[in-house]
Amino acid sequence: MSDLPQTEGRNPRSAGLDRLGTPALVELLAEEQRAAIDAVVGQRDVVATVVDAIAARLRGGGRLHYVGAGTSGRLGYLDASEMPPTFGTPRDLVCPHIAGGVEAITRAIEGAEDDGEAGAREMRDHVRPGDAVIGISASGGAPYVVRALETARAVGAYTVGVANSEDTAVHRAAETAIVLRTGPEPLTGSTRLKAGTSQKVLLNTISTAVMVRSHKVYDNLMIDVVATNEKLRGRSQRLVSHLTGFDAARARALIAAAGGSVKTAALMGLRDLDADAARALLAEHGGSLRASLGE
């Protein structure tokens, strides 16, 4: 039996890849991505446990960290960068860390993933006991990620190890293990394909679910969206109009009075409150619009 991780195996379905006609080539590469969704859904119970554990730490003042190398690290940066505009979070609430530093976001840094001490140092410098750390490695063996998880766990942070192979060093280093069973890639060893897609889906799922549990969502609406451009200003107005039944002009006036906060503006309109009273009511209910409305 080979000691190679599953992500390094040969995929029999893609044998003769370079001999396929272009339509068949495109179909095969796209079709293989279905395994990424199945891999995440197959771990829904453990992912739910992870979501609840992370949400509890954020409520206690902790932060969420992503740690990865190469594609995995870049996906962490992508997800973290989308939290502030989507959910109105502080920029340091979700913190990404990549082997080789920020330069590695746009180009490969040779040997960076093998530098375990760099991963340990990154955690010592940035992680606190109440934080949560998700370490991501397709093969499950990147020393940067393994040492980061070991160090974060020793500090007292909650740790999650994510890999696309079974029983890896990343899994053993963490308190909770998530196995994304995507199997061999259509292009042997190219984990930017199925493995990367599964990691993107997983991080989207975890971060969005954590934000739902953190009262950043009402129904299926982004009530803490930050209106940083015209598109988002229009979305904010539509959200307040939808929630209150008011016309666009009244909704925009409420948003202005609320300092741009959709959640505060909606509560002002629904309960006939001024901005300070609406903010106080939200604070009393932990930021939950639903609870503030008595629902």
110 is catalytic: no
Q: Which of 32, 113, 122, 185 is catalytic?
A: 113
Strand ordering across the sheet containing 64-68:
94-98, 64-68, 132-137, 158-163, 176-179
82 is catalytic: yes
Question: Tell me, what DSSP letter sits at residue 56?
Answer: H
Give the burial string for 43-56 (b: 16+ CB within 10 Å, else e).
beeebeebbeebbe
Q: What angle do CA 213, 33, 82 make, to 5 degrees?
A: 35
Beta strands in 63-157 (DSSP E): 64-68, 94-98, 132-137
The whole-angstrom separation of Cα 184 and Cα 7 is: 5
The whole-angstrom separation of Cα 245 and Cα 248 is: 9
Catalytic residue numbers read 82, 113
